[in-house]
Amino acid sequence: MIKIVGIFLSLLLMFGFCIPVMAQSQPIATQELQLGDELANKAFAATNRGDFVAAEDYWTQIIEKFPINAGAWINRGNSRVSQNKLEAALTDYNKAIELAPNLTDPYLNRGTALEGLGKWEDAIADYNYVLALDPNDAMAYNNRGNAKTGLGKWEDAISDYQKATAIAPNFAFARANYALALYETGQTDKAIREMRNIVRKYPKFADMRAALTAAYWVGGQKGEAESNWVAAYGLDTRYKDMDWVTNIRRWPPSMVAALDKFLKLN
């Protein structure tokens, strides 16, 4: 998971975003700050509607005007990750780290891009660095757990997901990843209980609706599977795409196999 730097650009520039204000070679005019704010707002709006190409363009315009703003580099990297332009995203995160080496966000988001490239150990190194700077970063624990699943270290991943949820009990995706990892390690009943608890709290959480579909189907509870599938598919049609489930959402193999069985019979 990536973290969006959601601060107005004028504030970033006023306070230097972990970069001394004196680094600016010339004072920034109010008009330029206003233009920067307008572009940033347009970039966030484009991101919210899923238009990552437009968001990338807006962040590029901001970078051209304010090249030492680390936040702009991070957010352009995020828009590139969302387009699966992972190598380009790494370039942006590396630049952000050069500008603000003690900021956690570029390391956290670079780790996500590295995961996408299958560079699990490099991703873990970035998450470890984030946790060295901030031991209470729940997202870093969650993401490190994700990277560990790429190495097949499911028990270690479970430990990281538990740490993430202990820090942030309402971090739904960390709880979901924990449930999926439990299922992969054969703790089926415990996994299903966790999935049901998550759905009870977040009834529109498509990921866990789809997971319950798969778990119930292979467990012989056909009616429960069907009803959860109606909800899951109505919320997010991507769960019918096994390539997306396997390679983008990155469900564990046992859960992928269970959902595949359901879909092939439906």
CA distances from 23 to 19, 75, 93, 122 (A): 7, 21, 20, 31
Q: What is the C-alpha to C-alpha distance for residues 207 and 174, in angstroms, rounded to an integer?
A: 12
Q: Is residue 205 a contact partner of residue 174, using CB atoms and an 8 Å limit?
A: no
Q: What is the C-alpha to C-alpha distance for residues 43 and 11, in angstroms, rounded to an integer?
A: 16
Residue 61 has pLDDT above 50, yes or no: yes
Class of domain 170-266: mainly alpha
Q: Is residue 1 a contact partner of residue 173, using CB atoms and an 8 Å limit?
A: yes
Question: What's the confidence (pLDDT) of residue 2?
Answer: 64
Q: Is residue 56 a contact partner of residue 38, using CB atoms and an 8 Å limit?
A: no
Q: pLDDT tens for residues 78-137?
A: 999 999 999 999 999 999 999 999 999 999 999 999 999 999 999 999 999 999 999 999
Residue 46 has which token pair? Answer: 């484009």
Q: What is the mean pLDDT of residues 241-264?
A: 97
Question: What's the confidence (pLDDT) of residue 241?
Answer: 97
Residue 243 has pLDDT above 90, yes or no: yes
More confident residue, 264 or 8: 264
Q: What is the C-alpha to C-alpha distance for residues 168 and 258, in angstroms, rounded to an integer?
A: 29
Residue 25 has pLDDT above 70, yes or no: no
Q: Where are the beta strands (DSSP E) in the chain?
A: none
Which amino acid is present at 166? A
- For helices 172-184 and 206-218, angle between their N-to-C axes, nearest 10 degrees: 20
| CB contact set of 197 (below 8 Å; sequence gap of 6+) | none
Q: What is the mean pLDDT of residues 236-246?
A: 97
Q: pLDDT tens for residues 136-162?
A: 999 999 999 999 999 999 999 999 999
Exposure of 17 in the CB half-sphere (CA atoms within 13 A): 27
